[in-house]
Amino acid sequence: MDEQALLTNYLIVGALLFGIGLVGFFSRRNMIVMFLCAEMMLQGVSVSLVAWGRYHNDWGGQVLVIFILTVAACEAAIALAVVLTLFHKSGKLDIAVWQQLREDNQAAFVDRDLSALAPKPAVQWPKLTPAGIEPDHDLEEVTHRSHL
């Protein structure tokens, strides 16, 4: 096999993974997806490192990828904790909620025609009580006289 060609091919695949991950990281607004994309960028780097390791006949590339795996695990743990915290505060996984860093004179980022795409509220169908079943009622309600 042509080692140099192999390296070239792997590097380009790595670059593609990295680039696609970048695009996803930039444009997707779901924080979970953003982290998927970040992991994808790490994958691109891992691929390149392994290729370089083979090209130089050096274990360093693979060892480094092992550490990348370790760090990625840590990162995922912390990131998920942070995402959960943020989610707890805003009720959304939307990264665009967190834009307080902007300058005073900057307009906030607003979604386009969000309402049109928002899921329609479920229709409140009338609830009928099936025959033979006791309807829900307030247990606190006085149903009998306490004295005659």
* Residues from 77 through 116 that contact another protein (CB under 8 A): 77-78, 80-85, 87-89, 92-96, 98-103, 105-106, 108-109, 111-114
x/- string (CB under 8 A) for another protein, residues 12-51? xx-xxxxxxxxxxxxxxxx-xxxxxx-xx--x--xx--xx
Single-letter residue type at 14: G
Instruction: Examine residue 124 and tell whether it contacts another protein (CB under 8 A).
Output: no
CB nearer to another protein: give 56 or 148: 56
Q: How far is the CB of 95 from another protein (least distance, A)?
A: 6
Cα 117 to Cα 101: distance, rounded to the nearest angstrom = 27
Instruction: Examine residue 117 and tell whether it contacts another protein (CB under 8 A).
Output: yes
CB nearer to another protein: give 112 or 145: 112
Instruction: Examine residue 2 and tell whether it contacts another protein (CB under 8 A).
Output: yes
Q: How far is the CB of 120 from another protein (least distance, A)?
A: 12
- 3-state DSSP helix/strand/coil % of the chain, to nearest 5: 60, 0, 40
Of 65, 74, 71, 67, the residue nearest 44 (C-alpha): 65
Which residues fall within 8 angstroms of residue 55, CB to CB, at 6 or more apart? 3, 4, 6, 7
CB nearer to another protein: give 5 or 133: 5
CB nearer to another protein: give 105 or 146: 105
Beta-bridge partners for 94: 30
For 79, the enclosing helix (H) or strand (E) is helix 60-90
